[in-house]
Structure 1
Amino acid sequence: MIRTRRAINAVVKPVIELKNILFYMLSLISLILVIALSLLVTKVASIMLQHTGLSRPSAKFQARSAFTGVGFTTSEAESVVNHPVRRRIILTLMLLGNAGIITAVASLMLTLWNPGQENFGVGLRLLVLTGAIILLWLISHSKYFDQVMNRLINFALRRYTNLNVRDYSNLLKLAEGYGIGELYIEKKDWLNGKTMIEANLKGEGLNVLAIKRKNKDFVGTPEGTTTIMEGDTLILYGKSESIGRLDDRSNDIHGQIEHRAQLAKAKREAEQKEMVEKMAAEKMRENGNESSKSQKAEKENA
């Protein structure tokens, strides 16, 4: 009888251990899949928000905030709520985020719960889980993965949705030292009280896209006679370095000297760019002439 029990235990025990291992592996795989899907969902939502006009950092921030259920009362959040397409994206993210968090917590509890087996202790489980999370983090921050995902998501958005898909970052060359920035006008600022003509920001290589007034009025593509006043917020496009310098410029003789220096610098850069373009055009023309001469010589020899 005792021998029979021992024989049964010898057979049953490995089966139970295998069952426990499979139970652990399934719960771990479920948790990793939930995390991976969460990253994918926020990535898709972030790109969709970018196509509605939000900048890349703002889109990523709003997508992650909505998915995790963390609310922020900011002007960006108000612009998201007041925009019908953005509002639908954020609402979908909130619903998916609630389901994802609950599923992740349940999977985590099942992963860490030890059903009486010693082969996979809590420490080992945490180690495997941490390794999987680090791997997912490295993949999600890979530039190659980011490029591939952007192409696939953009293709899917164009094919299966009516969303106006445009890559505003590439369109405005935001990754080449250029950017869009907001400049709040204070009393001591150099721009305070000046008209657009007097400021001549275009001569510094900066374009004023719009002005948000203190009283909430919005002036799009302001004209030369438009006056910049204290409390205004200027929306500028140009080199990020130039926008930062303008923000630090004071309304005194030093500010005027800085303005003249920036005008001269922008003029030199424009002249250098024009010279480089002319040299490139001449080189292309010379290459074309040499190519035509060689083709003519080949025909004569033939």
Structure 2
Amino acid sequence: MALFFLVIYFIVIATVIEIHVILFRLTDLKLEVSRFQVISLMTGTGFTTGESELILGHPIRRKLAIFLISFGAVSLAVIISSISNFLSSNMNTKEVIYIAGGAILILGLLKLPFIQKTLSKLFTYRLKRNVEIGDLPIRDVFLTEEEDDLLNLHIYKESSLASKSINQVITEHDQLEFVVLFIKRGEMKIRTNLYDTKIQEGDQILLFGNEKVMNENFKNDINIMEEQLDKQIHVPIDEHSVNNKKSP
């Protein structure tokens, strides 16, 4: 009886996982990410990956995550209790069978295209009505189309933009599919006269627009940034100490 109870309960767990995979997908989360994060939340393992920010930064996904974490904790307790009472004849599986049937029924309904379309619209409506745009992750605010991209461009002395303004380097920028959001200079953020401001070495320019357009127009500066960042990553850790030892 206890073994039958465990089998039924594992069916409930598998069904709950599939239900939440579908719900996460309806919030525009990719299938492979949804499945991994659902299992991670339920088991309490692996959720600290970078992809977890996609869950934490989305209000509807956060609510689903709270249920999964709670359900996972309860499930572990139930499984341990079931194993410890494996030889007990007092275990009642009737309620668990009802729960399993209900979960399977919900999963079947969620697989219907009409239900998925309705829930997707409901989630979108609730986001627009109840959530401030500042609470949404960058991906949901800016990167709504496949060609959209955010570029944080670091400026070095070799960059074509160094000591020049964007107007001087790209004369017809207003006809192109990108905008400058701000220029970061140390602790200061410049938000006015962005296209006429002379760019200095060490500045960071945050750009938003069509990925292909930005890659074409800032190709030289992007290549220099990637080369410089690559050099920083591969500098030997003891190089500085070696140079200090050689100096008188």
TM-score after normalising by structure 1: 0.42
**Higher normalized helix content (fraction of residues):** 1
Q: Which has the higher contact order (CA 8 A, sep 6+)?
A: 2
TM-score, normalised on structure 2?
0.49
Higher-Rg structure is 1
